[in-house]
Amino acid sequence: MNTKEIMDIALELSDLKEIPWDSGIVVQGDNIKKVLFGVDMETQELLLGKELGVDLVISHHPHTGEQEIHFHKVLEVQIDKMISYGIPINKAQKALRKKVNSLERNAHVKNYDRIQSAAKLLKMPYMNIHLPADRITEKYVQNYIDQVLHNNPKATLKDVINTLMQIREYQSTPAGPVIRVGGSDDYAGKVAVLMAGGTNGGTDVFKAYFEAGVGTIICMHIPDDVREEVEKQNIGNVIVAGHMASDSIGLNILIKELRNRGLEVITMSGIIE
Residue ranges at the known binding site for a divalent metal cation = 60-61, 243
Strands 178-181 and 126-128: unpaired
Nearest to 3 by CA among 153, 144, 119, 175: 119
Residue 108 CA, distance from chain mean position:
22
C-alpha neighbours within 13 Å on the C-beta side of residue 169: 21
User: Which residues make up each annotated binding site?
Assistant: 60-61, 243
Nearest to 196 by CA among 23, 36, 12, 32: 23
Residue pair 132/13 in contact (Cβ under 8 Å)? The answer is yes
188 has which bridge partners?
A: none
Nearest to 220 by CA among 47, 60, 89: 60
